[in-house]
């Protein structure tokens, strides 16, 4: 089946967005690749891909990009909401402005851009909105609560929107990748793990090492072993865009499929203790761990490993 034309993609400066633009362009699709900084799109422009400035926190740039596509094609055939970043750190230490910035980019920008393309899609009785979520849109682990909350929000918005626009011929799809080897995303996540309270210092160190290993492959971890690449995700995005009857959700990678299934079936205590605490770094109360009584060490708290 031919892909709907054209395809507007956000977050194309690197990672999944860039991979989607290259894959669909090389397959003959009319692609509009966008990013907050147009200079980061030079490689895509050299491939013959149409590039535009689009900052998902800037209303004017979103309107301009959508207007450009609609002026040339009538409507956006498919919108791929790929732009986003991961805010890291424990919930206790998060700054209010950082929380707002995370949701402005990952949730509100995605929602507003979807609003802007929908009138012409409904008029054409055709169109697909593909929202790049994450395995962390289905469960959460320590150290990324607000990023994961933003992806949970994307999942809920997508579920509601899918039902709202189905009768108008518009399809809404969620892409749920597991860990993806992409340097820019990983660098941002690890760089955000800045020390605030010394009680979390050991957890920050272990978390930085853990995710650095996933994104760079510097050492072997379970998540790193099953990490996927940006083009693996782009292949699934292209499949969803080309389908006239796409699935509501596409988990990408063995880790995504298996852990989402486990989360659906396992009680919270089982999932927390037999999966999260065994696979991911978890904060430990080191002060309690050092304390002893005349009869021996204190009992281990649930939060300790």
Q: How are beta strands 31-35 and 7-9 bridged, if at all?
A: parallel
Residues of the chain above pLDDT 70, percent: 84
pLDDT at residue number 213: 77
Average pLDDT over residues 6-31: 97
Statement: residue 259 has pLDDT above 90 = yes
Spatial neighbors of 71 by CB under 8 A, at least 6 apart, are none
Statement: residue 197 has pLDDT above 50 = yes
Q: What's the domain count of the chain?
A: 1
**53 occurs within a structural domain:** yes
**149 occurs within a structural domain:** yes
pLDDT at residue number 300: 39
User: 147 catalytic, yes or no?
Assistant: yes
**107 occurs within a structural domain:** yes
Residue 79 — φ and ψ, nearest 5°? -110, 125
Tokens 């696979």 belong to 279
* CB-side neighbour CA atoms (13 Å) of 209: 11
Average pLDDT over residues 21-42: 97
Residue 23 structural domain: 7-182+228-255
How far apart CA 219 and CA 231 sit, in angstroms, is 22
The CATH number given to whatever domain includes residue 93 is 3.40.50.720
How far apart CA 27 and CA 60 sit, in angstroms, is 31
Average pLDDT over the chain, rounded to an integer: 88
Spatial neighbors of 159 by CB under 8 A, at least 6 apart, are 248
Average pLDDT over residues 147-166: 98
**18 occurs within a structural domain:** yes
Statement: residue 180 has pLDDT above 80 = yes
Average pLDDT over residues 276-281: 92
pLDDT at residue number 199: 86
pLDDT band at 200 (very low <50, low <70, confident <90, very high): confident
How far apart CA 227 and CA 249 sit, in angstroms, is 19
Check if the beta carbon of residue 81 is closer than 8 Å to that of residue 130: yes
**21 occurs within a structural domain:** yes
pLDDT in tens, 216-258: 655 555 555 678 899 999 999 999 999 999 999 999 999 999 9
Q: Which of the residue ranges 76-90, 180-194, 196-210 would you say has the lowest mean pLDDT?
A: 180-194
Average pLDDT over residues 43-55: 97
Residues of the chain above pLDDT 90, percent: 74
**286 occurs within a structural domain:** no
**197 occurs within a structural domain:** no
Statement: residue 112 has pLDDT above 80 = yes
Query: Of residues 139, 147, 200, 250, which has the active-site annotation?
Result: 147
pTM of the model: 0.87
Average pLDDT over residues 26-50: 97
**216 occurs within a structural domain:** no
pLDDT at residue number 294: 41
pLDDT at residue number 287: 63
């Amino acid at each position: 089946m031919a892909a709907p034309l054209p395809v507007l993609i956000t977050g194309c400066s690197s990672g999944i967005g860039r991979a989607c633009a290259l894959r669909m362009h090389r397959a003959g699709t009319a692609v509009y690749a966008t990013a907050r900084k147009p200079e980061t799109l030079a490689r895509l422009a050299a491939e013959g891909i149409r590039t535009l400035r689009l900052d998902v926190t800037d209303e004017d740039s979103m309107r301009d990009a959508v207007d450009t596509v609609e002026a040339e094609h009538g409507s956006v055939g498919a919108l791929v909401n790929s732009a986003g970043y991961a805010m890291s750190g424990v919930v206790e230490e998060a700054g209010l402005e950082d929380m707002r910035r995370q949701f402005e980019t990952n949730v509100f920008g995605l929602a507003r851009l979807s609003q802007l393309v929908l009138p012409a899609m409904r008029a054409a009785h055709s169109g697909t909105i593909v929202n790049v979520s994450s395995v962390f849109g289905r469960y959460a682990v320590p150290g990324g609560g607000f990023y994961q909350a933003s992806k949970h929000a994307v999942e809920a918005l997508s579920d509601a929107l899918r039902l709202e626009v189905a009768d108008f011929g518009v399809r809404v799809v969620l892409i749920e990748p597991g860990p993806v080897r992409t340097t820019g995303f990983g660098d941002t996540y690890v760089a955000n793990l800045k020390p605030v309270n010394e009680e979390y210092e050991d957890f920050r160190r272990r978390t930085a090492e853990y995710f650095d290993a996933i994104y760079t492959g510097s050492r072997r971890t379970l998540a790193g072993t099953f990490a996927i690449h940006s083009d693996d995700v782009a292949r699934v995005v292209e499949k969803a865009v080309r389908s006239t009857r796409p699935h509501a959700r596409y988990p990408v990678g063995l880790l995504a499929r298996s852990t989402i299934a486990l989360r659906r079936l396992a009680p919270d205590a089982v999932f927390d203790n037999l999966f999260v605490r065994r696979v991911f770094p978890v904060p430990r109360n080191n002060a309690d761990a050092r304390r002893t009584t005349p009869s021996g060490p204190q009992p281990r708290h649930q939060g300790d490993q």
